[in-house]
Structure 1
Amino acid sequence: MAAEEPRPISSLMDLSGRVAVITGAAGHLGQAMASTLSELGCSVCLLDRNAEALEKSANQLRTKWNKPVEQLLIDLESEDERKNVLAWVTQKFGRADILVNNAGFVGDSALTGWVVPFEEQEIGTWRRAVEVNLTAAFHLSQVLSPLLRINSKGSIINVSSIYGVVGPDLALYQGTAMGNPAAYAASKGGLIQITRWLSTVLAPDIRVNCISPGGIARNQPEPFQERYIERTPMRRMGREEDFKGAAAYFASDLSAWVTGQNLMVDGGWTAW
Structure 2
Amino acid sequence: MKSIKQLMDLTGRTALITGGAGYIGTAFCEALAEAGANIAVLDIATDRVQESASKLAATYSIKTLGLTVNLSDEAAIVAAPKKVKDELGSLDIVVNCAAFVGTSGLTGWVTPFEEQSVATWRAALETNLTACFALIQAATPFLRESGHGSVINIGSTYGVVGPDMSLYEGTAMGNPAAYAASKGGLTQLTRWLATTLAPNIRVNCISPGGIARGQDEKFVNRYKERTPMKRMGTEEDMKGALLYLASDLSAYVTGQNLLVDGGWTAW
Name the TM-score class by shorter chain.
Answer: over 0.9
Runs (4 or more) in structure 1 with deviation over 3 Å come to none
Aligned to 2:209: 214
Q: Quick one: distance in 2 between partners of 1:89 and 1:104? A: 21
Note the C-alpha offset of 1:109.
7.8
Aligned to 2:101: 106
Q: Quick one: distance in 2 between partners of 1:198 and 1:260? A: 8
Is the contact made by 1:229 and 1:236 (CA closer than 8 Å) also made in structure 2?
yes
Mapping 1:1-272, distance limit 5 Å: 6-108=1-103, 110-272=105-267
- SS of the residue corresponding to residue 11 of structure 1 reads helix
Number of corresponding residues: 267
Note the C-alpha offset of 1:71.
0.6
The range that moved more, 61-70 or 152-161, is 61-70
Q: Quick one: distance in 2 between partners of 1:152 and 1:98? A: 11
5+ long unaligned stretches in structure 1: 1-5
Once the two structures are superposed, residues 119-149 of structure 1 have per-residue CA deviations (whole angstroms, 9 ceiling, x without a partner) of 1111111001001101111111100000000
- SS of the residue corresponding to residue 209 of structure 1 reads strand
**Distance change >3 Å, CA 100–CA 258, structure 1 → 2:** same
Question: Please, what TM-score do these two structures have when normalized by structure 1?
Answer: 0.96
Note the C-alpha offset of 1:63.
2.3
CA-based RMSD: 1.0
Q: Quick one: distance in 2 between partners of 1:109 and 1:89? A: 27
Note the C-alpha offset of 1:110.
3.2
- SS of the residue corresponding to residue 150 of structure 1 reads helix
Question: Please, what TM-score do these two structures have when normalized by structure 2?
Answer: 0.98
- SS of the residue corresponding to residue 46 of structure 1 reads strand
Note the C-alpha offset of 1:35.
0.4
Q: Quick one: distance in 1 between partners of 2:193 and 2:145? A: 17
For 1:196, give the aligned amino acid. R
Is the contact made by 2:90 and 2:146 (CA closer than 8 Å) also made in structure 1?
no
Once the two structures are superposed, residues 82-124 of structure 1 have per-residue CA deviations (whole angstroms, 9 ceiling, x without a partner) of 1211331132123100000111000128331111110111111
5+ long unaligned stretches in structure 2: none
Identical positions, percent = 58
The range that moved more, 254-263 or 89-98, is 89-98
Q: Quick one: distance in 1 between partners of 2:248 and 2:78? A: 29
Note the C-alpha offset of 1:50.
1.4
